[in-house]
């Protein structure tokens, strides 16, 4: 799932090499922390968080497939 | 971008090896066609198309970054590029459409609120006569008034009762004594 987030983020930012995703288990869920270049923040969040929520929707389905729960945090 | 669609789809389906993405150039945009196992169709579409739209959102941003536009189509049912599908015959009804049951009201219709006038009706202006009322002609009698019959008395007039005379007062005899006798002079 970490790879999925990296792939999605790298596809939409201007500086793909600055995309960093960290994974952390917190109780019963996985917390993913996405960091991108300052100037790319708007791109991964999107208008009214639309892009961020799109990534979260896909992450959620991917987690359910693995009988897990996942949360995506940006910035 | 084709890889992005493939990656997203493969991350959420049960059969990643059955994910097939084809890319097709259209006038000013690229059409991506995503095909997955039948049992995975629900997963890539999602409740109310939420997942499909999430993928479209990300694809759109990726396309904008490359100065193009992209469309994601999922599953079958899309005509291949070229001539639009056409009907062999004009569609027609096999049977005249008819109602299975007589239509009826589920509930007795009723008014939600008691109907009431929106405003108390009122006159915008005080009613007034446009002109002072006047007689078109001077009123006049059609005929000279006259008596239908000569007036007459219904009964001969008679006194209602004989007038009852007060009995004359008894002359006071003492008055005479006060008189000064003149004849005796």
| Beta-bridge partners for B24 | B31
How far away is chain A from the Cα of B81, in angstroms, using its nearest Cα? 27
Indicate the DSSP class of residue B143: S
Q: What is the mean pLDDT of residues A39-56?
A: 94
Collect all residues of chain A within an 8 Å Cβ-Cβ radius of residue B54: 53-55, 57-58
Q: Which of B1, B12, B57 sits opposite A54 (nearest CB)?
A: B57
**Interface touch B51/A4, C-beta < 8 Å:** no
Q: Which of A51, A57, A65 sits opposite B61 (nearest CB)?
A: A51
- pLDDT tens digit string along B89-109? 666 777 777 777 777 777 777
Rounded CA-CA distance B122/B142 in Å is 44
For an interface test with A, the pick among B14, B61, B63 (most A C-beta atoms closer than 10 Å) comes out as B61
Rounded CA-CA distance B81/B87 in Å is 17
Look at residue B182 in the predicted model and tell me its pLDDT.
Answer: 57
Rounded CA-CA distance B3/B16 in Å is 13
Q: Are A60 and A21 in contact (CB under 8 A)?
A: no
Which residue, among A45, A23, A19, A25, has the nearest Cα to A33 in the 3D structure? A23
Q: Which of B7, B43, B46 sits opposite A7 (nearest CB)?
A: B7
What residues of chain B, 61 to 100, have a C-beta less than 8 Å from chain A?
61-62, 65
A53 to chain B, any CB pair closer than 8 A? The answer is yes
Which residue, among A35, A21, A36, has the nearest Cα to A70 in the 3D structure? A21
Is 0.90 topped by the overall pTM? no
Look at residue B87 in the predicted model and tell me its pLDDT.
Answer: 60
> Cα–Cα distances in Å, from B60 out to A50, B1, B4, B143?
11, 10, 11, 104
**Interface touch B65/A65, C-beta < 8 Å:** no
Distance of CA A2 to the CA centre of its chain: 8
Q: ipTM of the assembly?
A: 0.91
Collect all residues of chain B within an 8 Å Cβ-Cβ radius of residue A46: 57, 61
Rounded CA-CA distance B13/B39 in Å is 9
pLDDT score of B183 more than 70: no
3-state helix, strand, coil in chain A (%, to 5): 55, 25, 20
Of residues B178 and B9, more confidence is placed in B9
- Collapsing DSSP to helix, strand or coil, B32 comes out as strand
- pLDDT tens digit string along B118-174? 666 677 777 777 777 777 777 777 777 777 777 777 777 676 666 666 666 666 655
* Residue B124 in tokens: 């915008």
Look at residue B174 in the predicted model and tell me its pLDDT.
Answer: 58
How far away is chain A from the Cα of B5, in angstroms, using its nearest Cα? 9
Look at residue B70 in the predicted model and tell me its pLDDT.
Answer: 94
- pLDDT tens digit string along B21-39? 999 998 889 999 999 999 9
Give percent of chain A above pLDDT 90: 93
Of residues B112 and A18, more confidence is placed in A18
Q: Are B33 and B39 in contact (CB under 8 A)?
A: no
User: Which distant-in-sequence residues (6+ apart) come within 8 Å of A57 by Cβ?
Assistant: B46, B50, B51, B54
Collect all residues of chain A within an 8 Å Cβ-Cβ radius of residue B7: 3-4, 7-8
Confidence of residue B81 (pLDDT cuts 50, 70, 90): very low
Confidence of residue A14 (pLDDT cuts 50, 70, 90): very high
Confidence of residue B80 (pLDDT cuts 50, 70, 90): very low
Indicate the DSSP class of residue B71: E
Collect all residues of chain B within an 8 Å Cβ-Cβ radius of residue A34: none
Rounded CA-CA distance A71/B5 in Å is 21
Which residue, among B23, B28, B25, B26, has the nearest Cα to B67 in the 3D structure? B28
Interface size A-B, in CB pairs within 8 Å, comes to 64
């Amino acid at each position: 799932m970490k790879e999925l987030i990296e792939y999605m983020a790298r596809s939409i930012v201007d500086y793909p090499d600055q995309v960093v995703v960290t994974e952390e288990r917190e109780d019963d869920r996985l917390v993913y922390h996405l960091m991108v270049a300052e100037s790319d923040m708007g791109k991964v969040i999107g208008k009214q968080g639309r892009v961020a929520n799109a990534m979260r929707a896909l992450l959620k389905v991917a987690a359910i497939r693995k009988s897990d729960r996942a949360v995506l945090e940006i910035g | 971008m084709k890889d992005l669609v493939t990656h997203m789809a493969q991350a959420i389906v049960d059969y990643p090896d059955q994910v097939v993405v084809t890319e097709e150039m259209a006038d000013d945009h690229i059409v991506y066609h995503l095909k997955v196992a039948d049992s995975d169709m629900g997963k890539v579409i999602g409740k109310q198309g939420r997942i499909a739209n999430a993928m479209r959102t990300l694809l759109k941003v990726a396309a904008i970054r490359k100065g193009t536009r992209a469309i994601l189509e999922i599953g079958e049912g899309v005509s291949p590029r070229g001539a639009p599908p056409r009907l062999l015959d004009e569609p027609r009804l096999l049977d005249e459409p008819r109602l299975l049951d007589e239509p009826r009201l589920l509930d007795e219709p009723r008014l939600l609120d008691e109907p009431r006038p929106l405003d108390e009706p009122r006159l915008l202006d005080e009613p007034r006569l446009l002109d002072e009322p006047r007689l078109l002609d001077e009123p006049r009698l059609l005929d000279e008034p006259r008596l239908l019959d000569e007036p007459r008395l219904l009964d001969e007039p008679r006194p209602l009762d004989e007038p009852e005379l007060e009995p004359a007062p008894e002359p006071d005899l003492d008055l005479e004594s006060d008189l000064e006798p003149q004849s005796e002079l």
